[in-house]
Amino acid sequence: MDRYSRQTLFAPIGLEGQKSIGDKHVLLIGAGALGTGNAEALVRAGVGKLTIIDRDYVEWSNLQRQQLYSEQDAHEKLPKAVAAKERLQQINSEVEIEAQIADVTTEMLDTLVKKERFDLLLDATDNFDIRMIMNDISQKHVIPWIYGACVGSYGITFTIFPGDTPCLQCLLKTVPLGGATCDTAGIIAPAVGTVVAHQVAEALKILSGNLEDCNRKLVSFDLWKNQYVTLNVEKLRDPECLSCGENRVYPHLSFENQTKTAVLCGRDSVQIRPAETFSGGRSLKGVKELLSSQGIKVEANPYLVAFQAEGHRLVAFQDGRVLVHGTKDIARAKTLYHRYLG
Residue finishing a domain among 213, 235, 253: 253
Q: Is the dihedral of CA 9, 13, 15, 19 positive or negative?
A: negative
244 is catalytic: no
Instruction: Looking at the structure, tell me whether residues 227 and 298 fall in a common domain.
Output: no
The whole-number pLDDT of residue 265 equals 66
Domain that holds residue 61: 2-253
Give the count of alpha carbons within 13 A of 114, CB side only. 7
CA torsion angle for 166, 171, 172, 176 (degrees, to 10)? -160
Instruction: Looking at the structure, tell me whether residues 270 and 244 fall in a common domain.
Output: no
User: What is the Cα–Cα distance from 22 to 270, expressed in whole angstroms?
Assistant: 44
Active-site residue, selected from the candidate residues 150, 167, 170, 182: 182
The whole-number pLDDT of residue 12 equals 97
The whole-number pLDDT of residue 342 equals 66
Chunked mean pLDDT (size 10), the chain, 342 residues: 92 97 98 96 98 89 94 91 96 96 87 95 89 95 96 95 96 68 80 97 98 96 96 94 94 76 77 67 78 88 86 86 90 87 74
The whole-number pLDDT of residue 302 equals 80
* CATH code of 190's domain: 3.40.50.720
The whole-number pLDDT of residue 93 equals 96
The whole-number pLDDT of residue 279 equals 47
* CATH code of 330's domain: 3.30.310
